[in-house]
Amino acid sequence: MSSLPKRLPGAVLVGAWVLVAALHLILRPERRLLVWPLGYMLLEILAGASLAYRAWRTPGGERAAWWLLAGSAFLEVPNLILTLLGLQGSLSTGMAQLPSYLSLATGILVLAGILSFPRGRERGGRFRRRVLDALIFAASLLFLLWVMGIQGSFRAAAQGVGLRVFAAYLNVALLGGGLVFMTSYHPDRSKGPLGWLAASAGAWLAAISCWTLAGLPSVVATRPWIVLAGAIPLFQGLAAWSPRRVEESLVANPELRLGGLLPYVPVAVAVPVLAAMLAWSPRHATREAYAIFLAVVLLLLFRQVLAIEDLEGARRTLEDRVLERTRALERAQETLLRTERMNALALMGAGLAHDLNNLLGVIKNSAELAVMDLEEQGQAVTRDLARIATAADRAARLTGRLMGFVRRESEALSLMDVVREIREMESMLRLLLPRTVTLQMEFPVDSGVFVRSSKLRLEQMLVNLVANAGGAMPEGGRLTIHAGPGAPGTEETLIEVADSGTGMTTEVMERIFDPFFTTKPSGKGVGLGLPSLKAMVEADGGRLEVSSEPGRGSRFRIFLPRLLPDKPE
């Protein structure tokens, strides 16, 4: 920013303040009346020059803010001259209030300068919250200063002190509110120029507090604590020489809640202060104090309304996000179920390819025999052609069964004979098993075991269980499928699939129905087969039981409500 050595301007400002403060403290009180205003005027001129230099050297949106701050510093010079004339008795009665007006104008310029720094783009809701937070901070701080002023006996003060007190208190309150507005949702901004301006506001508050606790004397130039006021232009000047730009910290961080709580710190102090005043000294509570506190309460109510709106907006946003995530999970689950279905289809395809190869061999051999018979002229070829037709029919049935399993996405529920349907699935189920596994089907002698379901659901149930059983018997074994009535005295239909495979441990059995849990190698399964099986069984009003021991195979038992053909419901 500057061609001057980085530390030299700051050192000059600090050195000037130390010199003025030391000179003030070692002089006799009567000499301070002249020396302090001149020393303070020097500090204001140095601060104003620093701020004007920063404004001249700064491009972009910050320039106006620095010019306003420089104007506030230079405006203090005529104010100090008038104050000095008043101490000498050279100020006319008509101009006695002019220093108070200039002091108020100085505070307004400082506030305007702070608010003129770039703020970045923000939504309207956040902007309203920041404004209310700033007003709450300013009003509650003004209330606390006013209560301290009550102890300083406003009514006993000299004529004209009322405006001076109001201007001083209002300046501090507005400056604090402006800084809260700029930094409460942007904590990183306090590390640069705004941090030095906040320190200046702190020095301003400290000097005003000392003045109030001292009884609001009309002459302050002789008091030792007035050196705190000298830190006001000091920190303003140091802000001008800060290498950081306010624009560098425009990213809001609402997750840092400490900044959001800052406006309510004076409120937390104001409430017990008013309660103590009403309890022990109610006659000292003035109408002004009540009015300011009432303003704080109203601002808090408005802020509460915005907070409720924020909560309602957050609730709606959360509901929308939950709905969106739920839909996404449903889509993902549907995709994974399709993947599980395709895994089973791949197993069937491997067996189908083997059987189709055998059938094609039969067709090929029968065709060759038919050709030989035709060449011999006179031999009948009906038997060979019949073989070709039979093999082709079997191949068509196999491929049709496979394509039907792929195509059917939904199927209406109806009364169906479980035994008959499972018999028809036998050829398809064999395709899911390795050649080393023997499939055994056990059915009652008499058919007529009816349930209310669909062929698609029944196929999916059996395909899931048979495919898993085949994977559990890599070295071969026996798979038994049993269907028939349940236990005597119950109106249930039992479908049982038992294998002689590796079995499952207790820990695995506790998780087999958890979505996405699988013991298969990566890429071989997604862990949705058994959860979807359980969901289908329960959707049909049934239940699923499983028993297994490591090394002794597994047994899955599906119980479905049994119906009679003449009473399907």
| pLDDT at site 37 | 86
Confidence of residue 480 (pLDDT cuts 50, 70, 90): very high
> Is the distance from CB of 106 to CB of 90 less than 8 angstroms?
no
- Distance from CA of residue 46 to its chain's centroid? 48
At how many degrees (to 10) do helices 124-151 and 193-213 cross? 30
Is 196 exposed, middle or buried, given 0-12, 13-18 or 19+ CB atoms closer than 10 A? buried
Confidence of residue 362 (pLDDT cuts 50, 70, 90): low
Instruction: Judge whether 252 lies within some domain.
Output: yes
Instruction: Judge whether 110 lies within some domain.
Output: yes
Tokens coding 405: 């399993």
Q: Name which residue leads in pLDDT, 203 or 155.
A: 203
Domain-terminating residue out of 212, 240, 257: 257
Residue range 181-186: mean pLDDT, rounded: 72
Which three-class secondary structure state does DSSP give residue 547?
A: strand
CA dist., res. 223 & res. 219, Å (int): 8
Instruction: Judge whether 272 lies within some domain.
Output: no
CA-CA-CA-CA torsion sign (305, 306, 311, 313) = positive
Q: Name which residue leads in pLDDT, 345 or 298.
A: 298
Residue range 84-90: mean pLDDT, rounded: 71
CA dist., res. 238 & res. 236, Å (int): 5
Residue range 95-115: mean pLDDT, rounded: 83
Q: How many domains does the chain have?
A: 2
Instruction: Judge whether 181 lies within some domain.
Output: yes
Instruction: Judge whether 506 lies within some domain.
Output: yes
Residue range 157-181: mean pLDDT, rounded: 70
- The answer on pLDDT for 381 being more than 80 is no
Which three-class secondary structure state does DSSP give residue 362?
A: helix
pLDDT in tens, 391-407: 666 566 556 655 555 55
Confidence of residue 481 (pLDDT cuts 50, 70, 90): very high
- The answer on pLDDT for 28 being more than 80 is yes
| pLDDT at site 154 | 46
- The answer on pLDDT for 84 being more than 80 is no
Tokens coding 239: 């802000």
| pLDDT at site 212 | 78
Instruction: Judge whether 407 lies within some domain.
Output: no
CA dist., res. 159 & res. 436, Å (int): 112
> Is the distance from CB of 146 to CB of 119 less than 8 angstroms?
no
Confidence of residue 61 (pLDDT cuts 50, 70, 90): confident
Which three-class secondary structure state does DSSP give residue 170?
A: helix
Confidence of residue 219 (pLDDT cuts 50, 70, 90): confident
The range of the structural domain enclosing residue 30 comes to 8-122+155-257
Query: CATH number for the domain including 450?
Result: 3.30.565.10
pLDDT in tens, 111-148: 888 888 877 666 556 667 777 777 777 777 777 777 76
Query: Of the ranges 341-350, 362-371, 419-428, which one carries the lowest mean pLDDT score?
Result: 341-350
Query: CATH number for the domain including 239?
Result: 1.20.1070
Confidence of residue 418 (pLDDT cuts 50, 70, 90): confident
> Is the distance from CB of 116 to CB of 65 less than 8 angstroms?
yes
DSSP symbols for 365-425: HHHHHHHHHHHHSSS--HHHHHHHHHHHHHHHHHHHHHHHHHH------EEEEHHHHHHHH
CA dist., res. 226 & res. 199, Å (int): 16
Domain-terminating residue out of 231, 257, 283: 257
| pLDDT at site 3 | 47
Residue range 449-453: mean pLDDT, rounded: 84
Query: Of the ranges 107-111, 126-130, 156-160, 254-258, which one carries the lowest mean pLDDT score?
Result: 156-160
Length of the chain: 569
Q: Name the residue type at position 525.
A: G
The mean of the pLDDT values for the chain is 75
Instruction: Supply the pTM of this predicted model.
Output: 0.52
Q: Within 13 Å of residue 468, how many CA atoms lie on the same side as its CB?
A: 25
Run of H or E including 477:
strand 477-485
Confidence of residue 496 (pLDDT cuts 50, 70, 90): very high
Q: Name which residue leads in pLDDT, 72 or 273.
A: 72
Instruction: Judge whether 379 lies within some domain.
Output: no
> Is the distance from CB of 503 to CB of 549 less than 8 angstroms?
yes
- The answer on pLDDT for 258 being more than 60 is no
Tokens coding 397: 């049935």
Residue range 430-434: mean pLDDT, rounded: 78
Is 385 exposed, middle or buried, given 0-12, 13-18 or 19+ CB atoms closer than 10 A? middle
Which three-class secondary structure state does DSSP give residue 452?
A: strand
- The answer on pLDDT for 337 being more than 80 is no
Domain-terminating residue out of 257, 280, 302: 257
Residue range 332-355: mean pLDDT, rounded: 59
Run of H or E including 502:
none
Instruction: Judge whether 301 lies within some domain.
Output: no
Residue range 432-446: mean pLDDT, rounded: 82
Buried b (16+ CB within 10 A) or exposed e, 534-547: bebbeebebebebe
